[in-house]
């Protein structure tokens, strides 16, 4: 006797009342909808990051480099500059230490308020300090400085003892 076995078709067991049916896989449209929101979020983050980089580069990147050379009792630097952020290269070509201060003021360089010792009164309400190079820069040294200038009149000075009185001052004009 020969017996032939055929695969038996199984019927799913009838669902019991109150039992949830197994979830069917999401359709392509539903999958794309979920992916779409993820792609839009990632795209928005990328656009915001690029915008932040562009804004930062535009507003905070120094415009034109300029050289400010201090020698014994003189300052040599451009006297006319465009408004914006500038990278100054402070070079001490003198035989002694010097500093560089820049004040926004309506006063001419030779008429700044001074104390009894002849040094500029840096805290005067007539002066708005926009740059201070810090301690004296040693001879033959260079120091990078960043300064933001708006249109107006400025004065550059070295305010180490007696240096202003001996001529280390310069009028600076900033235009748009």
pLDDT tens digits, one per residue of 41-51: 888 888 888 88
pLDDT in tens, 8-32: 655 555 556 666 666 777 777 777 7
Positions of E strands within the chain: 65-71, 74-76, 80-82, 84-92, 101-104, 128-132, 142-149, 152-157, 169-175
Separation of alpha carbons 169 and 146, rounded Å: 19
Highest mean pLDDT among 1-15, 59-73, 93-107: 93-107
């Amino acid at each position: 006797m020969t017996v032939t076995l055929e695969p038996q078709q199984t019927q799913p067991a009838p669902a019991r009342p109150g039992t949830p049916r197994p979830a069917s896989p999401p359709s392509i449209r539903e999958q794309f909808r979920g992916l779409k929101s993820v792609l839009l979020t990632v795209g928005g983050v990328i656009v915001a990051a690029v915008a932040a980089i562009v804004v930062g580069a535009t507003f905070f990147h120094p415009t034109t480099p300029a050289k400010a050379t201090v020698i014994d009792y003189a300052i040599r630097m451009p006297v006319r500059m465009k408004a914006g952020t500038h990278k100054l290269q402070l070079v001490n070509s003198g035989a002694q230490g010097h500093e560089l201060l820049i004040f926004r003021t309506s006063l001419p360089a030779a008429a700044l308020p001074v104390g009894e010792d002849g040094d500029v009164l840096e805290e005067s309400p007539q002066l708005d300090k926009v740059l201070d190079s810090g301690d004296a820069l040693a001879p033959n040294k260079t120091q990078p400085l960043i300064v933001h200038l708006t249109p107006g009149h400025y004065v550059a000075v070295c305010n180490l003892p007696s240096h202003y009185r001996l001529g280390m001052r310069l009028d600076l004009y900033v235009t748009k």
